[in-house]
Amino acid sequence: MALSSSTNFELDVAEYIEEAFERCGLEARTGYDLQTARRSMNIMLAEWANRGLNQWTIEQRTQALTADSIEYSLGTDVIDVLSLVVRRSNTDFSMSRISRDTYLNLPNKSTTGRPTQYFLDRQITPNLKIYPAPENSTDVIIYDALTRMQDADTQVNTLEIPFRFFPCLTAGLAYYIAMKRAPDRIQLLKTVYEEEFERAMAEDRDRSAFKVSPQLSYYKVG
């Protein structure tokens, strides 16, 4: 049996659109067909971000701190901060995330010390607010940023998604197109999409080990 020895299968935007149209029983024939499908694809990628299906876009980033400065602008591609530590002399100290209300009610935000809490103000340009204010300019913050997926700008683009998510993207795009062009297939394609989405979500979860150890004090030794 001859094997291909190839593991580089990848679809470009035009091929995703072609497959999605075929699932709708349609054919993409005009420039507008491609344009409206590409627009739907970008809207769907935003939906994925809202539903948390883009763990592969997590990036570890560094933010230098400045003494007495409590606010730091992050990149416009940052959707959320998943975890954050402050590094001092090669030692990392965890920081806890607090709500807008908790941050607002801190009595003296200019208090200085090693930062222990942060609030992420999720504006168009996210703003990181930390407390207490840094007592030096040598500490740095290390954080895991959940970032935006790159847009599908042209038909020849490929998308930055892992191989295991190809079925979910194809099924989702077919459903989005059906809502505009094939109403008789909406329910079927929605069901397929949701099934593929659930499979993708299950695959994308952190698979850290989970172990339950019984508390021996509950066991009576005779």
What is the per-residue pLDDT for 68? 97
Question: What is the pLDDT of the chain when averaged over all its residues?
Answer: 88
What is the per-residue pLDDT for 2? 76
What is the per-residue pLDDT for 16? 93
What is the per-residue pLDDT for 175? 98
Residue 78 token pair: 């940052």
What is the per-residue pLDDT for 57? 83
Give the phi and the psi of residue 209 in degrees, each rounded to 5: -65, 140
Do 58 and 82 meet the contact criterion of CB atoms below 8 Å apart? yes
What is the per-residue pLDDT for 206? 56
What is the per-residue pLDDT for 217? 44
What is the per-residue pLDDT for 62? 96
* CA dihedral for 101, 107, 112, 113, sign (positive or negative): negative
Instruction: Kindly report the number of other CB atoms within 10 A of residue 99's CB atom.
Output: 9
Distance from C-alpha of 166 to C-alpha of 57, rounded to nearest angstrom: 16
Residue 158 token pair: 């490929």
Q: 3-class secondary structure for 153-173? A: CCCCCECCCCHHHHHHHHHHH
If phi > 0 it is left, if psi is from -120 to 50 it is alpha, else beta; for residue 68 that is left
Strand-strand pairing, 127-131 and 117-121:
antiparallel
Examine the pLDDT at 123 and tell me if it is beyond 80.
Answer: yes
What is the per-residue pLDDT for 212? 42
Examine the pLDDT at 156 and tell me if it is beyond 80.
Answer: no
Do 13 and 38 meet the contact criterion of CB atoms below 8 Å apart? yes
If phi > 0 it is left, if psi is from -120 to 50 it is alpha, else beta; for residue 211 that is beta
What is the per-residue pLDDT for 152? 75
Q: What is the pTM of this model?
A: 0.68
Give the whole-number percent of the chain exceeding pLDDT 70: 89
Distance from C-alpha of 10 to C-alpha of 217, rounded to nearest angstrom: 55
Query: What 3-state DSSP class applies to 45?
Result: helix
What is the per-residue pLDDT for 122? 92
Distance from C-alpha of 190 to C-alpha of 175, rounded to nearest angstrom: 6
Examine the pLDDT at 137 and tell me if it is beyond 60.
Answer: yes
Single-letter amino acid code for the residue at 184: D
Which one is predicted more confidently, 218 or 91?
Answer: 91
Examine the pLDDT at 93 and tell me if it is beyond 70.
Answer: yes
How do residues 180-219 score in pLDDT, each as one tens digit? 999 999 999 999 999 999 998 887 665 544 444 444 444 4
Examine the pLDDT at 220 and tell me if it is beyond 70.
Answer: no
